Amino acid sequence: MAKFGYDMLPTWAHWQIERYLSLDEDQRAIVSRRIDELHRWHRRVQLPKYVAFLSEVEDQVRAAEPARTVPAVGDDAALIARWRDRIGEAWMPVAEHLAPGLAELALTLRPEQIERLRRRLADGDDEYREKFLAETPKARAEARADRVVKRAETFLGRLDSAQVRELRMLAASMPGSEDDWLAERLRRQKALVALLQKISTEQPGQREATRLARDYLASMWTSNDDRRRARLNAAIGDSDALSAKTLAKATPAQRAHLLKLVRGYADDFRALTGATLAAAAR
C-alpha cells in the first residue's frame, strides 16, 4: 500500500490542485512538469534517507526494554520527540524543491482562481470544526480519546480492554489544543492566499517569486504567535509522553506489530528507490 500510495502521489497532488484552483491548460502543464520533477527527485534523494531513519527506529525499538516494572517514560518520550524532530526536518529539502514550482504557478494565477482557493479552504475549515471542535468539553475529550486509541492501534495493533480504558482516560484528561491547531491552520491558509495574491498581482519574476514561496514554505509549520506556539509545544510534549507510556506498556506482540510496520515501510521505500536506480541505469 505504501508503494501504491507513493506512486499515486503525483496524480493525487495534481487532482487536489485542480480541485482548489480550476487550472487552465497552460497551468496544468506547469503543475504536471513540476510535480513529476519533485517526485523523481524525492524518490532518488529523499527515500534512501527515510529508509535509513526507519532502520534506526527499528533498531531503537528492538533495543528498548520490552517490559519494565517502572516504565522509563521520560527516556521514551525524549526518543519519540527525536523521531518527530527528524520527520519535521525532512520538510525543509522538500520545501526548497517545491518553491520554484509554486512560484511559477502563482505567477499565472488569476483573481478568480485565488478566490476559488479561499472558498475551498473555508469549506475545509468547516469540516475541520465539525470533526474536531465538538460543542461541549466532554464531547471534545471523548473525540480526542477516540483519535488517540485509533492512532495507537495503527502502530501497535489491537489493544486489550484495560489498555483502551487507560489510554482513553489519559487522552481525555489532556488539555485540549484543538482551538490552537485550528488557529494555526487558519494562519497558514491566510498566509498562502496572501502569498499567491502578492505574486499574482505584483509579478515579481521567477527568482523573487521563488524566494517568497521558499520563505512561506520554510515557516509553514512554525507559529508566529509566541503564546500559541508555547501551548502547542506543551501539547506535543504531552502527546509524546502519552505515546511513551503506551509504548512502555506494550505487549511483546504489540511491539512485534510496530516493528513489522516500520520494517514494511522501510522495505517499500527501499524497493521504490531500487526501481528508480534500475530505471536510470537502463
pTM: 0.88
Answer for the pair 79, 243: CB distance below 8 angstroms, yes or no: no
Judge whether residue 11 has pLDDT over 70: yes
Judge whether residue 277 has pLDDT over 70: no
User: Which has more pLDDT, 148 or 137?
Assistant: 148
Burial class of 8 by CB neighbour count within 10 A (0 to 12, 13 to 18, 19+): exposed
Within 10 A of 185 (CB to CB), how many other CB atoms are there? 15
Listed residue (108, 128, 103) closest to 21, CA to CA: 108
Judge whether residue 259 has pLDDT over 60: yes
Give me the pLDDT at residue 65, please: 58
Answer for the pair 23, 31: CB distance below 8 angstroms, yes or no: yes
What sign does the CA torsion over 87, 90, 92, 96 have? negative
Listed residue (223, 219, 218) closest to 233, CA to CA: 223
Within 10 A of 2 (CB to CB), how many other CB atoms are there? 14
- Provide the percentage of residues in the chain whose pLDDT is more than 90: 75
Distance CA 266, CA 59 (A): 12
Which amino acid would we find at residue 109?
L
Q: How far is CA 245 from the centre of its chain?
A: 23
C-alpha cell read off for 3: 508503494
Give me the pLDDT at residue 282, please: 44
* pLDDT tier at 77, thresholds 50, 70, 90: confident
Q: List all residues 6 or more positions away from 127 whose beta carbon is below 8 Å from its beta carbon.
A: none
Q: What angle do CA 159, 79, 65 make, to 5 degrees?
A: 60
The per-residue pLDDT for range 87-137, each reduced to its tens digit, is: 999 999 999 999 999 999 999 999 999 999 999 999 999 999 988 888 888
Judge whether residue 74 has pLDDT over 90: no
The per-residue pLDDT for range 24-61, each reduced to its tens digit, is: 999 999 999 999 999 999 999 999 999 999 999 999 88
* pLDDT tier at 62, thresholds 50, 70, 90: confident
Judge whether residue 68 has pLDDT over 50: no
Answer for the pair 107, 203: CB distance below 8 angstroms, yes or no: yes
Distance CA 75, CA 210 (A): 41
Answer for the pair 35, 13: CB distance below 8 angstroms, yes or no: yes
For the chain, give the number of residues. 282
Listed residue (142, 150, 151) closest to 171, CA to CA: 142
The per-residue pLDDT for range 153-212, each reduced to its tens digit, is: 999 999 999 999 999 999 988 888 899 999 999 999 999 999 999 999 999 999 999 999
Give me the pLDDT at residue 132, please: 87
Q: List all residues 6 or more positions away from 147 whose beta carbon is below 8 Å from its beta carbon.
A: 171
Give me the pLDDT at residue 25, please: 97
* pLDDT tier at 66, thresholds 50, 70, 90: low
Helix axes 137-156, 226-248, angle to 10 degrees: 50
Q: List all residues 6 or more positions away from 69 whose beta carbon is below 8 Å from its beta carbon.
A: none
* pLDDT tier at 281, thresholds 50, 70, 90: very low
